[in-house]
Structures are given as structure tokens and as C-alpha cells.
Structure 1
């Protein structure tokens, strides 16, 4: 009898933006790989009615749930609800558990935890912190969504010069709508950008899958990977931010620093299954964690799979490893 995998993803409205639609591409890709490996695959959509998903999963009785839920009821903040459902039903599921997703989906909470365990990350402030006098120095800051991901709302206007707390408060108020609600001000690290992809072995050990650099065009005024660069293929922003892997051989010390820090992040944040840690590196070679991606995008053309392929992994091997690391966890 074939083993059954349930791919659970969030509901995608018909008028959804490209970043929201991308979960459909992920589901199709994962489903194709699993079917090729002999699994019977059923796709389940998590909409607003949790009871429907519970009933569907009880009827399917999957051996594993492949969790591709990126949002719930239109909010990335609520994506952490999905593992609660799977765990309470007694099904093994891929990727991070609920408490980890809850923390990493809140950029300020993740940042505070990183700082508490002495992992390097730029200082971040929310409106309450600014109003309570925590603004410490003049400089450049980047205004980010606190809970939404996929670089939602990020563009060159997101980086500002702030001389006082009121400058940041005004910028946050001005950009709140395009950032999807609550936002934070993070010290801007003017430098290079990297990512390290991580995967859990079936024995439970974290392995470095690979690392990549996003090379910025030299004449860019503000060197960031904004929304357009990620989602508007062929745009000037896309062409100005090119993924490359050459630095691993050219700069082995930097590569080792990033990978060690990413492994420390995996342990301290309680990540599992697979993850990606994003960095900025300043002119002095100091690395800062700017984002912790539990359950990163698994589209066939996304950075996680591209990094794996550069390191010699086949996409099928990546998906198989993710499933194998999940089997038996939380299952009744």
C-alpha cells in the first residue's frame, strides 16, 4: 500500500498577488516530486474553517503532512496555527513547530531572542520602544513589516536617515499600509547580502545545504532585495540583484563565519526540517542576521532549491530529506 502525504497550503484568493500565489507553485512542485517517489499525494487547503481541514485530514489519515501554510486568514502572523492542528491530530509534519514559527514570523520577537543568546543582529525598534525613549543614535534605518514576509512593501524608500525618534515614527506611519500593518525600524547595514540554507538529516542533525550571495549592481543607490526584485521577473530591480555562489571559494573565512552563525541560529531558535538564515555583512566583515526563515519557499526556482542544486543536491533529494526528517515526529 502506498504511503499517503497530505500537502497542506493556505487558501489563495483569485486576485492574489504573485507572492501569495507562489504557494501554489510550491505545492505542485512538492507534489510532483513525492508522486515520483511513490507517494500518494492529497492537497488540502487551509481556509478560514479549521474544522474543514481537521475533517479532511482525519479522512485522509496521512503518514506525513507537508506543511506549506504561509498564512492563515490572510495573515502571515497566524501561519503558526497550522502545526498546532497537525500535532493535536497526531500527524507527523514537515518543518518548524508552532512556537518557532510564531517567534520567527514576528521579526521583533526573533530579533530580541537572537540578542538574548548573543547572536549578531541589527537593533530593531517598534513604535512603543521609540515612544519610550529607546532611540539611541542617528543613522540609516530600514522600515520593515513586523509580521508579513516575502519583502512585502520593501523598496528604496524603505531606507531612511533618522536623526531622532520622531523621524522613524513618521516613516513608520507613512509606510504602514504598504507594509501590511505593524512595522519595525531596523538599523540598516550598508553592505553585502547573503543567505545560508540548512536542512535536517534523518538522524536529526543540522547540515549546511549551501550558501549564496545576492550581488547588487554597483550603481544602486539603496542596496536591498525589495519586493520588485523578488517578484517582478525581468524588472530592473530583478536584474540588479543577482544570486551567486562564487564567494564560498573566493572567501572561505567569510563562508565559514556565515555557516557557523547559521548553525548556532538553528540551535538557539529551535529550527527543524529546513530553514534559511539571511545576513548582511558590513564593510568591516561583521555579519548580522537580518531574517530567520523557518519553512522557506520551496518553489522549483526559489533560492533554497537553487542553493541546494549548486551544492550538488537534486531537488528530489531535498524534498525526500525534508520528509524523512519529519516521519515519526508528533505521530500517534
Structure 2
């Protein structure tokens, strides 16, 4: 089992413990791509609320919207973002198109089809090769960054990295600069942006790309993992930038119809211009995850976070039974 997959199980344990401490009756249910078993599992338990923690099915991120779609078809209430929002944001190319249609900055990108047709970068900047469907920095490392010169060479590299990327990939302009995560939690008064977090690239030599790859997220003991701490401390000069990041994150919330909780990832270039990288529905709730770190910075413990997530799902469905 990969570290990111193991983290999902850890998350389920933490959420179950938190809900139990709040007095809720909880039962975990594994999910597969077998629709019959899934329907049987739900009907047999007759849940009044499903806390959706599904991130992949058969280790494929492209199936992340499967469970919300099934739950909606059954009329069962569930936590987190609705199925449409989950699908639209899980396909990174589609999400980027929607962001651009709404005149929000996102880095330039090229699909494999574009590159094979000779449509590609002008050579003025570097590009990063990313998965269309997989999240959690799957397949991302320093070798993912390539010179944006020859579309055919980039296409060949994308094809060669298909297995590492978990399938379909694309090339995205690599924004040299800083990286921020803005977490959003729905409250009684609407979506609330939690304290912004910046990823600090400590001890990185000038020759090393400043990016949050798979090692930085998951491989404890690696240089990247040990030297990419989160910071919530900002100088006064960053106030205008932070206001803009909050505004852009909330625009994404409204545009994609998000609900419950989400996270928006940004790069900020050397001219202080922010660029949206990804919109993450139902981000990880493990104790060491970025979302929970931002919640703690806002003075919210795990139980408070879980209560707010549940409340956001209760608006059209009654409260779940307590013991």
C-alpha cells in the first residue's frame, strides 16, 4: 500500500473516533467499483448520513465522484462537495478551463493531443508534467519539470511517464515562486477561509526546483519532506496578496458549487501574481494534513471541524441519530 493510500485509512480512523466522541453512531464501509455491492451495502445499513472519505477506487482518482453520484441517485445525504463539483475539480484540465472561462489566472497548459499536433510552449518557461486525474502529488518529482521548447519531446516524455502519472497527463507551465494553500470550511454564515498556509522551501539550493512533489508530501525522512514546512506567519507586505488569495478561493467555491470543505492551491510568481493550480474537494482530514493545520490555526479542533462539515450537509436532510 502506498503512503497516500494508507493516509486515507488513517483519516477514516480519525474521523470515526471524532464522530464517536461527538455521540454519533458510526460504521465504516469499504468501497469498490462493484455497483451491486455498493447499493447492497448502503441499503443494508440504511444510513441517515454518509461521511464521504473516498479518494480513489481501484487506485484510480478518476472514480472519485462515483460514490457521491450513487448516493445522490439513492437520495442519501452525505458530507462534503456534491458529485458535480467533485467531478469537475477532479479532472484538472476541465477545472482549469472553467477557471479560465471565469477570468481567473491559472498557468498555461497543453494536453498530449495538443503537443502531438505541434501545439506547445514557446520555450520561454519551464513546464511540469502532471496527471489529469490523480491527486496527492502522484507522479510528481523534479524530473517532472521540463524545458518548454519542443512539443514533440514533451509529448514523448508524457507518454513515457504514463504509468507513473496513473494514466493521462498534461504539461502545465511551472510558475517560479511561492506556494500557498487556502482551506475553506462552511459555517452557518457561509464559506469561511481558514488561515492561509505557505509552503516554505528550506535549504533548497538554487538548482533544485521549489515544488511540492510526492516525496515532499509522503516520504518521511526525505530531504523534501523534512524541508517543506507549513507557515502561517506573514509580513505586512503580504496583506494585499493574502486578501487576493482569499477572494480567488471564494470565487472558486461559488463557481464550482462547493460545499462543506475544500482547499485551493496557488502558486505566486515573482511579480506577486497568484495563479490557481488546483481545487481540492473534500481535502484530507488526517491530523497532520494541511486542512486540519489551518483549522487549528483558526482555533478549531477536530470535533469542531467535523460538526461544521456535518451541519453543512444537514441543511436539506435532518440531523443524524445520536446514541
> TM-score with structure 2 length normalisation?
0.93
Deviation at 1:199, TM superposition (A): 1.1
Please give the per-residue CA displacement for 1:26-62, whole angstroms capped at 9, x wherever unaligned.
Answer: 1111100100011000101111322222222222222
Aligned counterpart, 1:126? 111
Aligned counterpart, 2:321? none
- Alignment partner of 1:256 out of 230, 243, 266: 243
Contact kept, 8 Å, 1:87 with 1:330, in 2: the verdict is no
- Alignment partner of 1:311 out of 298, 307, 317: 298
Aligned counterpart, 2:186? 200
Structure 2: how far apart are the matches of 1:57 and 1:287?
42
Please give the per-residue CA displacement for 1:58-93, whole angstroms capped at 9, x wherever unaligned.
Answer: 222222110001112321101111111111221111
Deviation at 1:234, TM superposition (A): 2.6
- Alignment partner of 1:176 out of 162, 174, 180: 162
Structure 2: how far apart are the matches of 1:20 and 1:257?
34
- SS of alignment partner, residue 121 of structure 1: coil
Aligned counterpart, 1:24? 9
Structure 2: how far apart are the matches of 1:69 and 1:286?
34
- SS of alignment partner, residue 26 of structure 2: strand
Aligned counterpart, 1:103? 88
User: Would you tell me which structure has more strand in proportion to its own residues?
Assistant: 1
Aligned counterpart, 1:9? none
Structure 2: how far apart are the matches of 1:295 and 1:21?
17
Deviation at 1:248, TM superposition (A): 6.9
Higher relative contact order (CA 8 A, sep 6+): 2
Please give the per-residue CA displacement for 1:286-306, whole angstroms capped at 9, x wherever unaligned.
Answer: 000011101111111111001
Please give the per-residue CA displacement for 1:184-232, whole angstroms capped at 9, x wherever unaligned.
Answer: 10001000000100011245x2111221000012425100001011001
Establish whether residue 167 from structure 1 lines up as the match of residue 153 from structure 2: yes
Runs of 4+ in 1 over 4 A off after TM superposition: none
Contact kept, 8 Å, 1:141 with 1:186, in 2: the verdict is yes
Mean Cα displacement is larger for which, 170-179 or 30-39?
A: 170-179
Structure 1: how far apart are the matches of 2:35 and 2:314?
23
- SS of alignment partner, residue 66 of structure 1: coil
Unaligned runs of 5+ in 2: 319-323
Aligned residues: 315
Contact kept, 8 Å, 1:210 with 1:311, in 2: the verdict is yes
Aligned counterpart, 1:294? 281
Structure 2: how far apart are the matches of 1:177 and 1:43?
31
> TM-score with structure 1 length normalisation?
0.91
Please give the per-residue CA displacement for 1:2-24, whole angstroms capped at 9, x wherever unaligned.
Answer: xxxxxxxxxxxxxx211111111
Mean Cα displacement is larger for which, 136-145 or 239-248?
A: 239-248
Q: Within 5 Å, give how 1:182-331 maps onto structure 2.
A: 182-202=168-188, 205-217=190-202, 218-219=204-205, 221-247=208-234, 251-329=238-316
Deviation at 1:250, TM superposition (A): 5.8
Please give the per-residue CA displacement for 1:271-297, whole angstroms capped at 9, x wherever unaligned.
Answer: 111000000000000000011101111
